[in-house]
Amino acid sequence: MTWNLRGHDGPDVAAVADVVRASGADVVALQEVQRHQARSIARRVGAASLGWGFKHWPAPIPAEGLAIMGLTRPIRVRTRPLSFPFRLWSWRRRIFQLATIRPEGRRGPALALANTHFSPFDADDLRVREARALLRAVKSNRWPAVVVGDLNDDPDAPSIARFRDAGFRDTWAEANPDGDGGATNWHGWKRGTTKRPNRRLDYVLVPAAADVGGDGAPPRG
């Protein structure tokens, strides 16, 4: 499960925990989440592990970052910079998390999971560079990887094409060939809007040999 929580807007963590619990997910990847929010959600759902990574600190607002929760088993998580690594106070700083998910009993092959949130707005070239950097990190890992997160681009964008060229498959597109595109975001989003989402920026990308089940869609909102 992947979800951009927009932590600076003060999401209802109890409601988020209810959605996470009801999803039946084994692993949850969060973007734009503050550390105390991630801890509260993990505690409420009884997660086996939580790995929170610092992105930037827009003081006096609490620092935001990424989080990966292992709901059914502990997961080892590392956080690395992706772009603007030394701008610790800037929202432009981008990071990614790389986790290793091992089967129960810790025997047999493992699966890597990359969680990230690419640069927004008109930074097309920057998102392409971020995609390339993330792919390099994923390819250097010994295990096949799943890439999830808010990639801030439409499915036909150049940055998403980099993942297709590398053999990754878009789970939503495959599970819903005749669907509505899996829109999860809005152009000009406003709090309390009653309009339906009209674009998709969130992804679950899997390697070529993976089986796709369910709809592959993150929560809308």
pLDDT tens-digit map of 170-218: 998 887 776 666 666 666 666 777 766 667 889 999 987 777 765 544 4
Condensed to tens digits (0 to 9), the pLDDT of residues 102-156 reads: 876 566 678 899 999 999 988 889 999 999 999 999 998 888 999 999 999 988 9
Question: What CATH number is given for 2-206 in this structure?
Answer: 3.60.10.10
Opening angle at CA 217, ends 157 and 210, nearest 5: 85
Nearest Cα neighbor of 101 from 29, 159, 209 is 29
Nearby residues of 3 by Cβ (< 8 Å), 6 or more positions away: 16, 28, 29, 30, 31, 202, 218, 219
pTM: 0.89
Q: Which residue has the tokens 């800037």?
A: 90
Cα(221)–Cα(212) distance, integer angstroms: 23
Residues 64-74 have a mean pLDDT of 95
Domain boundaries, the chain: 2-206
Give residue-wise pLDDT tens across range 29-51. 999 999 999 999 999 999 999 99
Q: What pLDDT score does 60 carry?
A: 86
